[in-house]
Structure 1
């Protein structure tokens, strides 16, 4: 597991709850089988951030409306999704931020999972401050100057230290280690979820308050709030290998798709379509903004995007024989 990714912890206590929520994630694999109505079924995992939800929404809409499949979205944590993918309990992960341990176990060794190609989107995680604060204090964008501004970023929960706003406590980040190893006078503070983190960012931004936050691209909110990245020590290969001594920032990560090996081989038009599925950060952010910002249902957001972008999605369709 690479700590530079937005990987979710999978505690034993949470696994049972996820099994209940994830439709068929903890049941028998349905790939290639017929349901009661006789339609073909495709199981897709849905991670807990809206950009990934946008991928699944558009893929689901097109698989059902254009290719006559039934899609069962399954909400589960990322590591659990890899396990389910290997077993055939789910067919595809459409946005993976890098899981070297699982890749070795399931792709290289067991060969139960295969690469599905690039999503077309590059992800990046970092620490960000609002542009209005960086404009007044340009040197805040260099990590060596962060202690100078710790008082500006204090919160009621940060114990006299600068408060680094995080999202879900299930996200695994390097931030506590970075703070310790770079001797920064900061403390991580978790909002509880991506949605809660967005709410806090928007509230602080509207009030022009100073804040610093763990944040990422692509993210639809970046079109509404102007954030500036703090330059952490440059990421190099292997700099995050030892979780106790990490002193580097996060890499740029081309986001990948992965398929169950049997689905990739026998999944027919669905597998071909998902392999061809590739869009831009702009496309993903547009659908994500409709879901999270405009409060459209995922299917309504997908339908709107599909209607407006036939030149993009028609290239994903399997060629007629």
Structure 2
């Protein structure tokens, strides 16, 4: 009886081992078949891809182009989350934002570069590599405009050193006797830099800074002054529709240096904005899970002039960023199809062809 019992136990043990081996083999087959992403590098992302919306039109436009391709070409759902610079960066760290298509790299705090090195963000390279920002005035302020009957108001204005003598020209209606410099929107890193420059250039005694509530409010203030032929000075950037549409002159500043920029926020020294790289940036967990979308975003590329053209189209046709994205995709098939495989392009074309 004892030998029979031991034989049965031995048979049972062998049977259980074989069952476990077969189960493991079956699991391997399932992993390699139904979920091939585990071995072939395909996507494993199973939630909406959240694009970070900054509050200026070019950022919205580029997001909408990328979203349209991702939704209709790759089959993912997308969503958006609006924020200014600091909350956006934190949102990417916290997995609340997965893609930003227009990150102005040189305007970011130094910690951004450290975080990229630490793997907190994946910098996918340039959307467009050239951009311009600084303080601008309508050219007629310096040169006049004979056709419009405008005499030069600040004929010797060339650099920031000349601004004190023209404070009354750029009169602040809320504080007569001092000039007004329009900064960017609150929450932008560039706005804080522009504010610091007022102190560094010794302009605080002769000028007040003014923060408009939005990009639209900033542009409206300039456009209104331009239509009246009035003086205006403030922070602007290219690409933007207003800089493309109006005749403007940038006020000269000391040449940019790394040493100056390192202490720009101190208000003790200032210099010109650097030429800014405008990059596409992704959340690292999303990047690892959706490599085919990341490949598309690495290929995504535009120029300052192309973006300015779209922004002018938006103004001229009163189009939303979504409408401008569809228009651009319809007009520039040769460009965007070079970013994606043919099967993805077919899906996007089919969506564009739908009424």
Q: TM-score range by the shorter chain?
A: 0.7 to 0.9
CA distance in structure 1 between the aligned counterparts of 2:80 and 2:200, rounded to whole angstroms: 40
2:221 to 195, 200, 208: 200
SS at match of 1:252: coil
Secondary structure of 1:106's counterpart equals: helix
- Over aligned residues, Cα RMSD in angstroms? 2.1
Q: Give 1:294's aligned residue.
A: 317
The answer to whether the Cα contact below 8 Å between 2:63 and 2:100 also exists between their aligned partners in 1 is: no
**Match of residue 13 from structure 1:** none
Q: Contact 1:128–1:214 (CA<8 Å) still a contact in 2?
A: yes
Query: Contact conserved, 1:158 with 1:189, CA < 8 A, in 2?
Result: no
Change (3 A) 1:288 1:71: farther
**1:17 is matched with which residue?**
none
Name the stretch that deviates more: 158-167 or 205-214.
Answer: 158-167
Q: Which residue of 2 aligns with 1:48?
A: 55
Q: Aligned residue for 1:66? A: 73
Q: How far apart are 1:138 and its partner, in Å?
A: 4.2
Shift of 1:203: 0.6
Offset of 1:140 from its aligned partner? 0.9
**CA drift at 1:107:** 1.5
Q: Is structure 2 residue 190 aligned with structure 1 residue 167?
A: no
Structure-2 residue corresponding to 1:86:
93
Which runs of no fewer than 5 residues in structure 1 stay unpaired? 1-30, 36-40
Pair 319,268 (structure 1): closer, same or farther in 2 beyond 3 Å: farther
* 1:304-315 equivalence runs, <5 A: 304-315=327-338
C-alpha distance after superposition, 1:136-180 (max 9, x if no partner): 344212222111211110121245211101232333332333222
Aligned-pair CA distance for 1:76: 1.3
Instruction: Give the Å deviation of 1:303.
Output: 0.8
Q: Using a 3 Å threshold, how does the CA distance of structure 1 residues 293 and 164 change in structure 2: closer, same or farther? A: farther
What TM-score results when the alignment is normalised by the length of structure 2?
A: 0.75
CA separation of 1:70 and 1:292: change in aligned 2, threshold 3 A: farther
**Partner Cα distance (2:75, 2:293) in 1:** 9
Q: Show the counterpart of 1:224.
A: 245
Alignment partner of 2:277: what SS? strand
Which residue, out of 245, 251, 259, partners 1:238? Answer: 259
Q: What's the counterpart of residue 127 of structure 1?
A: 135
Equivalent residue for 2:297, pick from 259, 262, 274: 274
- 1 CA distance for matches of 2:226 and 2:113? 42
**Contact 1:169–1:190 (Cα < 8 Å) also in 2:** yes
Q: Which has the larger radius of gyration?
A: 2
CA distance in 2, matches of 1:175, 1:90: 27
Displacement of 1:100: 4.1
Task: Identify if the C-alpha distance between structure 1 residues 75 and 146 changes in structure 2 by more than 3 Å, giving closer, same or farther.
Answer: same
| Residue correspondence of structure 1 range 105-124 to structure 2 within 5 A | 105-109=114-118, 111-124=119-132
Give the length in aligned residue pairs: 285
Tell me the secondary structure at the aligned position of residue 55 of structure 2.
coil
**What is the alpha-carbon distance in structure 2 between the residues aligned to residue 159 and residue 272 of structure 1?**
55
3-state SS of paired residue (1:126): strand
Measure the CA separation in 1 of the matches of 2:208 and 2:245: 27
Secondary structure of the structure 2 residue equivalent to 1:228: strand
The Cα shift of 1:208 comes to: 0.5
Unmatched 5+ stretches in structure 2: 1-42, 144-151, 345-355
Distance in 2, Cα, partners of 1:61 & 1:145: 48
SS in 1 for 2:287: helix
1:224 CA displacement: 1.6
3-state DSSP of counterpart to 2:130: strand
1:150 to 2:173 alignment: no
Conserved in 1, the CA contact under 8 Å of 2:123 and 2:281? yes
Counterpart CA distance in 1 for 2:321 and 2:116 is 31
Q: Secondary structure at the match of 1:128?
A: strand
* Distance in 1, Cα, partners of 2:93 & 2:282: 9
Find out whether 1:34 has 2:46 as its counterpart. yes
Q: Structure 1: which 4+ aligned runs deviate by more than 6 Å? A: none
Please give the per-residue CA displacement for 1:15-66, whole angstroms capped at 9, x wherever unaligned.
xxxxxxxxxxxxxxxx95435xxxxx32110101111111111111222223
CA–CA distance in 2 between the matches of 1:283 and 1:69? Answer: 27
